[in-house]
Structure 1
């Protein structure tokens, strides 16, 4: 059976590692938002004189670039779903989690076939998240780590308010059993 699974979570939660493992295990197409649109996002920000290392509080990114980034992600997912290929979407969705209809409206706008919308919310403790961000050493994480007291309360422990989706949860502090998630798909 073809499925669409969005793996969401804050930076450093381990969502990408989990999403890759799930895609490999289920032979689904793996769609990483940053790989799909990252270079285009950087070019759009640079072309408009915007910094590329801080997106969560950049109004230009949030209002103009991010909606196009997610529209492209949903469109590529649709292409694969229409070919009968399951998809695992790896994206934080953080700015959209408080919009109840976002996911179903985005899937409808992209023309997704009728299938259940499933979301896996990957989370990790504050200590684990901070350690992971420091260890991976990405330039976009320096701002987060430098202003941790502002970052963690807003982006660390996300709440999903989406309607029309089935939400699965996975605490990723240790080594979660991916087979449990596969069985719930």
Structure 2
């Protein structure tokens, strides 16, 4: 099963994804980590990763799905083209998928989280609150939308596991 997460930076995606991976033993793949590895392999002046990070993430997800692993992909996933590509990754290898959007409905909490996030590694530039607020995020109809302001990490993980169990039946 491919668990496709999406949501704005600072919404709580990675925190929920980490907890879900620990609880389920699923393979955890984070776009920020992949993109930072690509940046680290390049000269400093070529900082723009472009689509390479997503392309690498699709390949890693496919490999792990083919090995029979459940896979969690953690990325902003703001546009339909990336969402449909993730769905295609799962269906191309004969696996199911669920799409989950993580939001934080309280702007003050979201802003605080964004300001206190830890970068993937030294040199990784996190978006500012202004960049998060103005980021293009295409409308989405995920299987599950979780509000990390309302639900605890544990409650969010429980909701995801309930969805996964319902999809198995």
| Distance of aligned partners of 1:137 and 1:77 in 2 relative to their CA distance in 1, 3 Å threshold | closer
Q: How many angstroms apart in 2 are the aligned matches of 1:106 and 1:45?
A: 29
Secondary structure at the counterpart of residue 125 of structure 2: helix
Question: For 2:56, which of 61, 64, 72 is the aligned residue?
Answer: 72
**TM-score of the superposed pair, with normalisation by structure 1:** 0.71
CA contact (8 A) 1:78 1:111 kept: no
Residue 103 of structure 1: how far off its partner (Å): 2.7
Q: How many angstroms apart in 2 are the aligned matches of 1:17 and 1:29?
A: 15
Secondary structure at the counterpart of residue 46 of structure 1: coil
5+ residue gaps, structure 1, are: 51-60
Q: Mapping of 1:168-183 within 5 angstroms?
A: 168-174=144-150, 175-176=152-153, 177=155, 178-183=157-162
| Distance of aligned partners of 1:104 and 1:153 in 2 relative to their CA distance in 1, 3 Å threshold | closer
Q: How many angstroms apart in 1 are the aligned matches of 2:9 and 2:43?
A: 20
Q: How many angstroms apart in 2 are the aligned matches of 1:69 and 1:127?
A: 30
CA contact (8 A) 1:5 1:119 kept: yes
- Number of residue pairs the alignment of both structures matches: 156
CA contact (8 A) 1:75 1:110 kept: no
* Structure 2 residue aligned with 1:122: 102
For the aligned residue pairs, the C-alpha RMSD in angstroms reads: 2.6
Secondary structure at the counterpart of residue 114 of structure 1: coil
CA contact (8 A) 1:71 1:110 kept: no
Residue 104 of structure 1: how far off its partner (Å): 3.0
Deviating 4+ runs (over 6 angstroms): none
Q: How many angstroms apart in 1 are the aligned matches of 2:128 and 2:57?
A: 24
Q: How many angstroms apart in 2 are the aligned matches of 1:110 and 1:171?
A: 25
**Deviations for 1:126-163, whole angstroms, at most 9, x for unmatched residues?**
2111101222365623x614xx2x641435xx44447x
Question: For 1:132, which of 106, 113, 132 is the aligned residue?
Answer: 113
Residue 42 of structure 1: how far off its partner (Å): 4.7
Question: For 1:184, which of 158, 163, 167 is the aligned residue?
Answer: 163
Secondary structure at the counterpart of residue 10 of structure 2: coil
**TM-score of the superposed pair, with normalisation by structure 2:** 0.77
Say which structure is richer in helix: 1
5+ residue gaps, structure 2, are: 165-169
